[in-house]
Amino acid sequence: MVRHMRSDASLARTVAFPRVINIEDLRRLARRRLPSVVFAYIDGGAEDEVTLHENVRAFRDVAFRPRQCVAVPSCDLRTTVLGTPLALPFMLAPVGFCRMFYPRGEFYAAREASAAGTGYILSTFSGTRLEEVREGASGPLWYQLYVPGGRAVAEATIARAKAAGFGALVVTIDTPVAGLRERDFRYGVRPLLQGNVWSSLPHVGQFIRRPRWTMDFIADGSPRVFPNVELPGIGAMPCGDVGGLLEKTLVTWEDLRWMHDAWKGPLIVKGVHTGDDARRAIDAGASAVVVSNHGGRQLDGVPASIRALPEVVTAVNGQIEVLVDGGIRRGGDIVKAICLGARAVLIGRAYAWGLGAAGGPGVARAIEILRTDLIRTMRLLGCDSMAKLDRSYVDTPRDWTA
Ligand SMILES: Cc1cc2nc3c(=O)[nH]c(=O)nc-3n(C[C@H](O)[C@H](O)[C@H](O)COP(=O)(O)O)c2cc1C
């Protein structure tokens, strides 16, 4: 445990109502605590960030059709994903480098997801050992796989995740190369991750301006390795530069076969945009797909995830479950996604900003904001259960379902 860190109670006060009312407030506080480079890493997207912004904006094209004069004294937010019961219709998406946002970030994010009765997906690009994350979390955990160390290294990690009790393997397929995240270069993400003092010099002012974060990062051991990617003869893989790492993580449909054989459990394909690819995922043995554009961080110019969802839902035709992520900032966005056929959604930045703002209590606050949003929205909509949501509760532009 990092000694000088603030207590959970004191952190919780920093994100309490009414200082923090919505997710955007958490973003504002994250910006205040984090050096520019870390905030930019969370916040930014690829190239012109068209898809990043479109992910959020497109929810506005979906309009509710409420049923009035319906008493909704209580609201059932429960669902199941791949047979696993969840208290909430959203899970925490895999987000790399969480330990850069807050000491032992993955540990706290997973702990808070469990406390709220939902699941957490641990990224391969994490700074905390998967066994430690498992120890702190009583709820469902899934492991997100990249293969930067090659097949044998990935198979060893898969075996570890299985032994530790992770329930599903999430294979991300949208990173054949890294998207051009321009903000990362401007603020110096590479020197920070490489720990290169000389090339960090031009960027050093931002760390001086954020002494609390800097002290936390140093006290946490300035983590710059991925302890879940064990390279033979070397040990934990150094973070190096994100772009270079992603280029080593190309996954083809053929690879899904060996991943499936190694995992021997539910496999989820994350990063599907089209009905054709969703059907390919079914053929490759996927139990679910995640309609996702990586939060607008990869191919700029693809449509918003919520826009791509109806095509995928139609193509899948109930054969497997469909999840979606991208741009979810309000509980109402989650309701819209479920009306359009998603089994549940994943949230990324919404909790990453919370973690950056105030560690575990910041994540708990993000979850709580979305939970209360969900209940309010459902009551206003006149619907008492997630299971009863369907397309009749929303209107979409006509060409969405053509
Ligand atoms: C800072 C950051 C790091 C991410 N790292 C990963 C990762 O390691 N693996 C992965 O599959 N997706 C990663 N993603 C994508 C998320 O899993 C998710 O698809 C995306 O954040 C959803 O969009 P939202 O942030 O608008 O909710 C990352 C996203 C962010 C914002």
Q: What confidence score (pLDDT) does residue 304 get?
A: 98
Omega before 303 within 30 of 0, i.e. cis: no
Please check whether residue 22 lies inside any domain of the structure. yes
Structure tokens at 85: 């019961």
Under 8 Å between Cβ of 386 and 350: no
Q: 3-state class of 175 per DSSP?
A: coil
Contacts of 287 (CB under 8 A, 6+ apart): 82, 168, 266, 267, 268, 320, 321
The neighbouring-strand residues paired with 142 are: 121, 168
What's the one-letter identity of residue 399? D
The closest alpha carbon to 374, from 308, 317, 338, 330, belongs to 330
The closest alpha carbon to 376, from 98, 21, 139, 13, belongs to 21
d(CA 363, CA 324): 20
Q: What confidence score (pLDDT) does residue 402 get?
A: 60
CB of 105 shorter than 6 A to ligand 1? no
Under 8 Å between Cβ of 148 and 248: yes
Q: What confidence score (pLDDT) does residue 197 get?
A: 75
Please check whether residue 331 lies inside any domain of the structure. yes
H helical segments located in 34-68: 36-43, 50-57
| CATH at 104 | 3.20.20.70
d(CA 70, CA 80): 26
CB of 145 shorter than 6 A to ligand 1? no
Residue at token pair 């987000």:
95
Q: How far is the CA of 350 from the centre of ligand 1 (A)?
A: 10
Residue of the CA atom closest to atom 4 of ligand 1:
95
Q: What confidence score (pLDDT) does residue 205 get?
A: 93
Q: What confidence score (pLDDT) does residue 195 get?
A: 81
Report the domain count for the chain: 1
The neighbouring-strand residues paired with 92 are: 120, 347
The closest alpha carbon to 70, from 385, 391, 332, 394, belongs to 385
The DSSP output letter for 7 is: P
Q: What confidence score (pLDDT) does residue 107 get?
A: 98
Q: How far is the CA of 94 from the centre of ligand 1 (A)?
A: 6
Query: The domain containing residue 322 runs over which residues?
Result: 8-388
Report pTM: 0.97
CB of 191 shorter than 6 A to ligand 1? no
Please check whether residue 353 lies inside any domain of the structure. yes
Q: What confidence score (pLDDT) does residue 6 get?
A: 87
Q: How far is the CA of 233 from the centre of ligand 1 (A)?
A: 30
d(CA 238, CA 230): 10
CB atoms within 10 A of CB 230: 16
Omega before 18 within 30 of 0, i.e. cis: yes
Please check whether residue 355 lies inside any domain of the structure. yes
Please check whether residue 176 lies inside any domain of the structure. yes
Under 8 Å between Cβ of 339 and 396: no
Q: How far is the CA of 295 from the centre of ligand 1 (A)?
A: 6
Contacts of 239 (CB under 8 A, 6+ apart): 97, 125, 193, 194, 224, 225, 226, 245
Q: Which of 42, 95, 130 to mutate to test the pocket of ligand 1 (most atoms within 8 A of CB)?
A: 95
Under 8 Å between Cβ of 127 and 237: no
Residue of the CA atom closest to atom 19 of ligand 1:
294
Please check whether residue 272 lies inside any domain of the structure. yes
Please check whether residue 396 lies inside any domain of the structure. no
Structure tokens at 358: 């105030």
Residues catalogued as catalytic = 294
Residue of the CA atom closest to atom 20 of ligand 1:
295
d(CA 108, CA 99): 10
For each successive 10 residues of the chain (402 residues), what is the average pLDDT? 75 97 98 97 98 98 97 96 98 97 98 98 98 98 94 96 98 94 91 82 92 96 94 89 70 95 97 98 98 98 98 98 98 98 98 98 98 98 98 95 68
The closest alpha carbon to 129, from 223, 243, 262, 2, belongs to 223
Please check whether residue 395 lies inside any domain of the structure. no
